């Protein structure tokens, strides 16, 4: 895959993700792309998509995987959809996530 689902922001980084709720486990499944070739991070969570349960599980999973506190991970767009934009604010976040994505298995 040629591009990462990362976008630099003036005060952090935005990451495009695609979530499968009720996925049987909380795990990251690697990179994927839509029909137009836009990349995203695929993940699944056990929780159901009601009353914010699945979104809370997404935040917890990503915070643990990326080594940030859950309070640093924010769902900025796509609250009720499967494709979401997650934002991490702060300096050095882009470089840290770029290195994390570089270590993902193909």
Does residue 28 belong to any structural domain of this protein?
yes
Domain range enclosing 52: 6-102
Q: What is the 3-state secondary structure (H, E, C) of the chain?
A: CCCCCEEEECCEEEEEEEEECCCCCCEEEEEEECCCCCEEEEEECCCCCCCCHHHHHHHHHHHHHHCCCHHHEEEEECCCCCEEEEEEECCCHHHHHHHHHHCCCC
**Tens digits of residue pLDDT in 64-104:** 999 999 999 999 999 888 999 999 988 888 999 999 998 88
**Tens digits of residue pLDDT in 19-37:** 999 888 999 999 999 999 9
Q: CATH number for the domain including 85? A: 3.30.1200.10
Does residue 94 belong to any structural domain of this protein?
yes
Does residue 1 belong to any structural domain of this protein?
no
Tell me how many domains the chain contains: 1
Residue with tokens 């859950």: 70
Query: pTM for this one?
Result: 0.90
Region for residue 78 given its phi and psi (left: phi exceeds 0; alpha: psi -120 to 50; beta: otherwise): left
């Amino acid at each position: 895959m040629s591009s990462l689902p990362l976008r630099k922001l003036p005060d952090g980084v935005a990451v495009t993700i695609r979530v499968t709720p009720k996925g049987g486990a909380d795990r990251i499944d690697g990179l994927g792309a839509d029909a137009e070739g836009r990349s995203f991070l695929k993940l699944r969570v056990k929780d159901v998509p009601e009353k914010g349960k699945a979104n809370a599980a997404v935040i917890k999973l990503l915070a643990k995987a990326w080594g940030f506190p859950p309070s640093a991970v924010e769902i900025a767009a796509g609250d009720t959809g499967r494709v979401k934009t997650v934002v991490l604010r702060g300096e050095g976040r882009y470089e840290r996530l770029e290195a994390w994505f570089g270590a993902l298995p193909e």
